[in-house]
Amino acid sequence: MNIIVCVKRVPQTADAEVKIDASGKGIEEERLTFDMNEYDAYGLEEAVLFKEQFSGTVTAISVGPPEAQDVLRIALAKGADNAVRIRAEDFGELDGFKTAQLLAAAIKDMPHDVIFCGVMATDDANYNVGVTLAQLLGIPHATLVTKIEATEGSADVCRELEGGLLEHIKIDLPALLGIQTGINVPRYASLIAIRRAAAKEIETVGSDKISDSGLLQNVALEELFVPPVTKRAEIFEGDPEEVSEKLASVIKEKGLI
């Protein structure tokens, strides 16, 4: 089985102070650490599990700067057989749609039975790359996937819905599956595997192989900004009737009723 997994290099900002850079369209990266997008790590693990079950090869692919090779080497150390970096620096500003077009251009000529990607990217909270990629390739897709039982030609998939509901669907392969966290336990790479991955060649693809003449972009980044600090909570004191009157007054003032 030929398996492709899309991965992204993202900054780790949960415990870091994030500052807007001088351009107003990016963040200062000097003191940030970068790693594989958390959701993609689960997609990578699912890809390797598929390879162990059905045999075949796993190819990790990323659209990113030269530093994206770091996460591709992580993928190689954890079980991917091949890695491809699409040179983001060749194609200017990217949104989700343009990223999906670049991935589609690179993947369309690769044999693939299933494509894994994370449900979303943690840096820009973008959900649309996976489903757009599937549409461009003309294959079915499912997102928020929490369980997969596959055969050679199809897969039974469980996916999350709102309100705590789960949906069970049968999907024909080839297909794209957007993986939710918790579907598996991503493995750690051994020191030997890391050393081997460091010696492997990573293929790079850029404007020499992908024409940018037909690429479209739907979204242009105008500005990044830190949300202004505002009053977050107000505690109403008094008996139930007084509190109810104050609450009703605020709701009317805010135009909620």
* Assigned CATH for 2-205: 3.40.50.620
Residue among 121, 131, 99, 97 at smallest CA distance from 10: 121
Please count the CA atoms within 13 angstroms of the CA of 46 that sit on its side-chain side: 30
C-alpha dist (Å) from residue 105 to 62, 109, 211, 215: 13, 8, 9, 10
Express each pLDDT in 103-124 by its tens digit: 999 999 999 999 999 999 998 8
Q: How many CB atoms lie within 10 A of CB 7?
A: 28
Contact 8, 36 (CB under 8 A): yes
* pLDDT beneath 50: ranges in the chain: none
Q: At CA 118, angle to CA 176 and CA 144, rounded to 5?
A: 75
Burial of 145 (0-12, 13-18, 19+ CB in 10 A): buried
Instruction: Give the Cα separation of 51 and 32 in Å (integer).
Output: 34
Residue 185 · residue 148 · CB < 8 Å: no
- E-only strand ranges, the chain: 2-6, 9-11, 34-36, 57-64, 82-87, 114-118, 141-150, 154-160, 166-172, 175-179, 203-205
Q: What is the predicted pLDDT for the residue at 235?
A: 83
With b for 16 or more beta-carbon neighbours within 10 A and e for fewer, the 106-131 pattern comes to bbeeeebbbbbbbbbbbeeebbbbbb
Task: Quote the DSSP letter at residue 15.
Answer: T
Q: H/E element holding 135? A: helix 128-137
Summarize pLDDT for 54-70 with one digit per residue, the tens.
999 999 999 999 999 99
pLDDT at residue 225 in the model: 87
